[in-house]
Chain A
Amino acid sequence: GAGVSQTPSNKVTEKGKYVELRCDPISGHTALYWYRQSLGQGPEFLIYFQGTGAADDSGLPNDRFFAVRPEGSVSTLKIQRTERGDSAVYLCASSLQGAINTGELFFGEGSRLTVL
């Protein structure tokens, strides 16, 4: 498809397990963002990639969270030793321009993570 694709759309896991969430951005978009959104709240910034490198990872809450984008396209958000507080919708967005130029962010539908 032409939009941002996120998989899985829903993930239920047990406390302590490892989780990977995948984002396939719009082709040609060099900027990629991960956000986390809790019910009734705005998206919370996690990490921003420009190409293959993480230009800003200041939003990652702790060292259990890690994200990669090895070829500058698909990105994977990895969460180790999941906790119940990690339950949220994880949104991915891509942009043709980086944040400096404030290009439009195109969001996927999100991956809903539930940690039991």
Chain B
Amino acid sequence: TQLLEQSPQFLSIQEGENLTVYCNSSSVFSSLQWYRQEPGEGPVLLVTVVTGGEVKKLKRLTFQFGDARKDSSLHITAAQPGDTGLYLCAGVGGSGYALNFGKGTSLLVTP
């Protein structure tokens, strides 16, 4: 099992602030995915990154895949209360079967 470590574990910020959360591993991944989960619901896919060094933007969210394909980051610009949730990274390793998740970053954005 490829271990994915996410940091910070918790983050509480005010509306309008910027933030970055990280997903790191000692293993190489063929791809990484980011999901967002709200209480009582299942995770919902935000993005998949495949190529080392890749940068993808989704409105105010910017995702980056490390050059060595071992890490990824998610940057949110001008956070809004609707961004509140658990942000999870997930990777498919060498076996190509199990999609393994990190423990997540719990984000709270207050007005």
- Kindly state whether residue A28 has any CB partner on chain B within 8 Å: no
- Kindly state whether residue A70 has any CB partner on chain B within 8 Å: no
| Residue of chain B at shortest CB distance from A92 | B42
- Kindly state whether residue B99 has any CB partner on chain A within 8 Å: yes
B88 to chain A, nearest CB (A): 5
Q: Are B88 and A42 in contact (CB under 8 A)?
A: yes
B37 to chain A, nearest CB (A): 8
- Kindly state whether residue B33 has any CB partner on chain A within 8 Å: yes
Interface residue tally for chain A (C-beta within 8 Å): 27
B39 to chain A, nearest CB (A): 10
Interface centre among A4, A98, A107 (most CB of B within 10 A): A107
B94-111 near A? 1/0 per residue, CB < 8 Å:
011111111110100000
Q: Are A102 and B45 in contact (CB under 8 A)?
A: no
Q: Are B103 and A42 in contact (CB under 8 A)?
A: yes
- Chain A 71-116 residues near chain B, CB threshold 8 A: 91, 93, 98-100, 102, 104-110
Q: Are B45 and A105 in contact (CB under 8 A)?
A: yes
| Residue of chain A at shortest CB distance from B30 | A102
* Partner-A contacts on B (CB < 8 A): 1, 6, 30-31, 33, 40-45, 48, 50, 86, 88, 92, 95-104, 106
* Partner-B contacts on A (CB < 8 A): 4, 33, 35, 40-45, 48, 55-56, 58-59, 91, 93, 98-100, 102, 104-110
14 additional contacts (CB under 8 A) given A55-B97, A107-B42:
A33-B99, A43-B88, A45-B99, A56-B97, A59-B98, A91-B43, A99-B97, A99-B98, A100-B92, A100-B96, A102-B99, A105-B33, A107-B43, A109-B42
